[in-house]
Amino acid sequence: MTTAVGERVAVDLEEVNRQLDGASPEEILRWGVETYYPRLTMATAFGPEGCAILHMLSRIEPRVRVFNLDTGYQFAETLHLRDRIADKLGIEVELVRADLSIPEYEAANGGPVYAADPDRCCRDRKIVPLRKAVEGYSAWISSIRADQSSHRAQANVVGWDAKFNLVKLNPLLRWTHRDVWAYVVANDVPYNPLHDHGYPSIGCWPCTRAVVPGESDERAGRWAGQAKTECGLHSLDSSQL
């Protein structure tokens, strides 16, 4: 039995996961809000999944703290989407940054780290800032789907995140790409315009390209030509911290 202590209650995560596996994303989010708010937070990269969850939160509890890991390498379209989300949904997404700016970081390392060691770049610009950002919180919301990768297929709807030492909610885990976009279209949810130009998955601009004909994997444009498929936020390996 995996047990986590939230702000008010002790939670049997294995039992809750059994109960909520198959529930709607809104039901999962409501459980998270009722159990953990205000010590509940969300990280978003402004993908269509994250934008869909933000739309749901705007109706359930818009005061949940939401943040974006601003690596310094994000597309301009991604940062502009943050403003559109604020205008449309009334949710101000906080930008969480690493201690060093990009010029400082590259100067300290003799140039861009993403080219020679993308794992380290992700660790320094994403994982370490995330670990600091969730200090003091009991649970965090992510927007992963099980069908996105083998790593993500191992996740639970609700479970203990040993990497960051808090409960992790994955309300869209059982949704498909089609489910996400059906929700986005039906609810007129703002999304990144790069999705209309061959970018099904969007990360940092140096490590993201449009997919080409014949590539069926929606994450094929991330770290193309490398064995790397994850930034490390959602992997089960805690050795990167």
Name the 3-class secondary structure at 5: strand
Set 51, 121, 207, 231: catalytic member: 231
Q: Which of 68, 50, 82 is nearest to 126 (CA)?
A: 68
| Closest by Cα among 7, 21, 10, 60 to 169 | 21
- 65 Cβ partners below 8 Å, 6+ apart? 38, 40, 41, 42, 94
CA distance 47 to 49: 5
Alpha-carbon span 198 to 1, nearest angstrom:
44
Q: Interior CA angle at 79 toward 124 and 55, to 5°?
A: 105
- Cα dist from 187 to 23, 50, 59, 108, 117, whole Å: 20, 14, 12, 45, 40
Q: Which residues pair with 65 in a beta bridge?
A: 41
Active site residue 231: yes
User: Is 117:228 a contact under the CB 8 Å cutoff?
Assistant: no
Element (H, E) at 166: strand 166-169
| Summary count for the chain: helices (H), strands (E) | 10, 8
Residues with catalytic annotation? Answer: 231
